[in-house]
Structure 1
């Protein structure tokens, strides 16, 4: 019978990798037991250190850039490997089960994630990433030339560019409001949105957590403001799954997108589109289609009719959801906030300018600071090349520091020490 050892061994030989050590051909590293849930109450540091060992990230690597991409832990990787081993035997029970993977509802993979996000399974489509989901909205939302979409000036390229493409092709208007840097409270953000709305505004598209600053926008209030004016609300939640507890149906927005490969540590190639009800589904055309896309009975599943899918990836998603549920999203969110508050305070002591809101309700596990005259790219390259510390930011001097639950204060202190050393080396201290 095919197993991971023989499968990987064959793959390595086919790829010219026969020189790999035998341990590498044996598949995944040995399983590491998950910590007992009651360890957290007895020894919190030991609990998080035990979870750190679930990740294959070497012990000397500090990853402060989960905001770009996370690392799948052992239970997720095991689910993916086992999924390939199972499915590639081509012994599925029904004659239509394989290889026609792109045409089913896949409720067994949608439902756990829907429950995790506070949605019904028929409101959720599992896609390949947040970019794809955002493009569904921008390309498919019913608009005509001259209609306006209102976005912030902090949207990620995968949120902004689909609207810019729609504008170039079909003449819709993209309007932007400026986010305060930093916003002092939710009312300041709401005021700027309200002032930017016109009689032609048909949809408001904003991020739940800004990729630029880490600010958590008041989505519930934005959705209420929009609904009162007959405007649809769409939210880019790329950073939310696995960072913050969320109840999509309680938020009140009409559309919501996201990625699971960042903070939830699910496999790469996992994203989703949430559509609140049938009325909004009727206003968003499917723009990647195959048979079944036009069947209204399928509800959100219509947006999954894109052709063949990678089922082992969805098995990995289930494992990621299960792990987050076992740890507890309240515990994860509290941990991320605590670490973010710590690094934020330490950077302010070093004279950094904060773009992260002083309002605790408007921040979570991403801190953004401006540190002129430090060159962000020079610092970023120096940290990684010489010290295996990974950060990201923006030109010329902005740093975005992400604090996933597996980080320790010692990891953060290592970054801070290196930041001080870099400034001293450049004569900036």
Structure 2
């Protein structure tokens, strides 16, 4: 617990560190547009310099949280410096969002995700968006939501709350480990649908295995049976190119602080059209929540929030767009394929699909008898490499575009060393 002395000490330390922080945040030139064609390694190395992650740190856990690069941090800090002057032009203008429509921030992200601004609500994280769907979707006791057995807690628990309070039935299908193709997933969903199924809620990219589910085909299956389709897209923005209106789903949630490297505290809720909006009640409400003419904007009426976070979001979109999502996705997949192949050569059991269409930038492998948590602690404490996974022996290895092959080889060498040390 903080007392006054420790708080003041922390504040003093922060103020003393500010010149170093300012130095760390100095602008570093982005690579020339044609450098990728001339020297691909130099191009990605130049982008690595945009991140404050020290050179000796390897982050294979972007699946939990990304690191905002210099342009994003500059936009955030400049945003605070500007907004906190309290010199906004209008007498009713204040440096907060959560009451207005803020299309200057919604539209760039909607465009980036293949949506229209009227379909997009910017929220504070994916958990908040998932809670809107689970708590707000119009259902009665005995109605079923169908989900996979690989959903993240922030996707599953809101539905479990709805189950406990109102008797909605949470039904799960088992994801193949690994799925050999899209049909293996679609068949399991189709077989689990009953006359009581009202909504299918699944991850677009599994947080457990990194499998990229066939979202467009799942949405079409749901639509053919009169069922609403909803996706938890926490991992998708910035990892793969997404076109929400092409997918054809009814609802889609996500976060921007992972693979897009935007500000922490940014998430979103996409609603396809009024027919869906009419079935999803607001569960956070202030003035304007009940105005249907505001469309998706009415789900943004969440009270005082932080405008500089949205300025950082715009900068993250600008950076990703300048690189090109096709190029980012190809790089992400290339690195994931490499680390996955190398782990399989070492005898790891793959939970990542052999179908390239079902793989993104997460390679999940099972490595018994290696104990995941013991390896994770050893790697970070002794070698500054971050990994994550699941007990007892699952490793989830995330490969953002700024990693190098040398970073991955360093991890692989240490993994070999750890196994030898443990006699595994």
Pairs within 5 Å for 1:187-336: 187-336=183-332
Per the TM alignment, residue 24 of structure 1 is displaced from its structure 2 partner at its CA by: 2.7
Deviations 1:238-262 (A, max 9, x none): 0000000010000011000000000
SS of aligned partner of 1:109: helix
Q: Quote the Cα distance in structure 1 between the aligned partners of 2:21 and 2:187.
A: 58
Per the TM alignment, residue 309 of structure 1 is displaced from its structure 2 partner at its CA by: 1.5
Q: Quote the Cα distance in structure 2 between the aligned partners of 1:123 and 1:35.
A: 34
Deviations 1:158-216 (A, max 9, x none): 00000000000000000000000000000010000000000000000000000000000
SS of aligned partner of 1:230: coil
- The change in CA–CA distance for 1:21 and 1:156 in structure 2 (over 3 A counts) is closer
Q: Which residue of 1 aligns with 2:12?
A: 16
- The change in CA–CA distance for 1:413 and 1:26 in structure 2 (over 3 A counts) is closer
SS of aligned partner of 1:72: coil
Q: Runs ≥4 in structure 1, deviation > 6 angstroms?
A: 11-14
Q: Which residue of 159, 164, 178 maps to 2:160? A: 164
Q: Which residue of 1 aligns with 2:56?
A: 60
SS of aligned partner of 1:195: helix
Unaligned runs of 5+ in 2: 1-6
Q: Does 1:105 find its partner at 2:101?
A: yes
Per the TM alignment, residue 101 of structure 1 is displaced from its structure 2 partner at its CA by: 3.5
Residues 292 and 305 in structure 1, CA contact (< 8 A), matched pair in contact too: yes
Residues 56 and 384 in structure 2, CA contact (< 8 A), matched pair in contact too: yes
Per the TM alignment, residue 37 of structure 1 is displaced from its structure 2 partner at its CA by: 1.2
Q: Quote the Cα distance in structure 1 between the aligned partners of 2:285 and 2:188.
A: 37
SS of aligned partner of 1:17: helix
Deviations 1:343-368 (A, max 9, x none): 01100000000000000000010000
Q: Quote the Cα distance in structure 1 between the aligned partners of 2:117 and 2:161.
A: 31
Q: TM-score w.r.t. structure 2 length?
A: 0.97
Per the TM alignment, residue 338 of structure 1 is displaced from its structure 2 partner at its CA by: 0.4
Q: Which residue of 1 aligns with 2:77?
A: 81
- The change in CA–CA distance for 1:188 and 1:34 in structure 2 (over 3 A counts) is same
Per the TM alignment, residue 28 of structure 1 is displaced from its structure 2 partner at its CA by: 5.2
Per the TM alignment, residue 103 of structure 1 is displaced from its structure 2 partner at its CA by: 1.3
Q: Which residue of 1 aligns with 2:138?
A: 142
Q: Quote the Cα distance in structure 2 between the aligned partners of 1:311 and 1:144.
A: 37
SS of aligned partner of 1:20: helix
Q: TM-score w.r.t. structure 1 length?
A: 0.96
Q: Which residue of 119, 129, 132 maps to 2:128? A: 132
Q: Which residue of 41, 47, 57 maps to 2:37? A: 41
Per the TM alignment, residue 17 of structure 1 is displaced from its structure 2 partner at its CA by: 1.9
Q: Which residue of 89, 92, 98 maps to 1:96? A: 92
Per the TM alignment, residue 102 of structure 1 is displaced from its structure 2 partner at its CA by: 2.5
Per the TM alignment, residue 18 of structure 1 is displaced from its structure 2 partner at its CA by: 6.2
Task: Select between 317-326 and 18-27 the one with higher mean Cα deviation.
Answer: 18-27
Q: Quote the Cα distance in structure 1 between the aligned partners of 2:198 and 2:15.
A: 59
Q: Which residue of 39, 47, 51 maps to 2:47? A: 51
RMSD (CA atoms): 1.3
Q: Quote the Cα distance in structure 2 between the aligned partners of 1:18 and 1:350.
A: 45
Residues 12 and 18 in structure 1, CA contact (< 8 A), matched pair in contact too: no
SS of aligned partner of 2:13: coil
Per the TM alignment, residue 12 of structure 1 is displaced from its structure 2 partner at its CA by: 8.6
Q: Which residue of 95, 113, 118 maps to 1:122? A: 118
Unaligned runs of 5+ in 1: 1-10
Per the TM alignment, residue 21 of structure 1 is displaced from its structure 2 partner at its CA by: 4.4
SS of aligned partner of 1:137: helix
SS of aligned partner of 2:12: coil
